[in-house]
Structure 1
Amino acid sequence: MQWKGKRRKNVIDKDIYVEDLVKDHPQTVPVLTRYGVICIQCGEPVWGTLGEAIERAGIDDKSDLMEELNRAS
């Protein structure tokens, strides 16, 4: 039987708070780390949004990162 449902909508976007992302989707931490996005500092999630953290990491093209995060979630 073939699945005929709708394509899954992205759960994670640039406006999600890093704290919520890490708490609700801990499996995304290795993806963020691989891209150099600091998401945990001193044992606690960093403050701010994912978009802000990506900016601090100096990532211009975030499409691959966002795709991987949504696959991991």
Structure 2
Amino acid sequence: MITPDMYIEDLVRQYPEAIVPLADAGLVCVKCGEPLWGTLQELADRKRISDLDQILEHINRTISHRERQAE
């Protein structure tokens, strides 16, 4: 499960499928092929994105759905 306090490097490694939806929401996690430093919340704060919880809720539901289908 992706949380606001998750380090971006960990997120990219554990949930690579979340990179594109996060970028679509304005949270670019990878630059020049490398993950950005800091937490997802810190990135959202820098980008002045206030609906991070809603964004993560949608992405976590999508990931959970895909994991259930893979079982």
Q: Which runs of 5+ in 2 are unaligned?
A: 64-71
The ranges of structure 1 where at least 4 consecutive aligned residues each deviate by more than 6 angstroms after the TM superposition are none
Q: 2:15 aligns with which of 8, 22, 25?
A: 25
Q: Which structure is larger by alpha-carbon Rg, 1 or 2?
A: 1
Alignment-derived partner of residue 4 in structure 2: 14
Query: What CA deviation, in whole Å up to 9, does each residue of 1:6-48 have, x standing for no partner?
Result: xxxxx11111100110111000011111111120011100010
Which amino acid in the other structure matches residue 22 of structure 1?
Answer: V
Secondary structure of the residue aligned to 1:16 is coil
CA root-mean-square deviation: 1.2
Q: Which runs of 5+ in 1 are unaligned?
A: 1-10
Q: Percent of aligned pairs with the same residue?
A: 41
TM-score (ref. length: structure 1): 0.77
Q: How many residues align?
A: 63
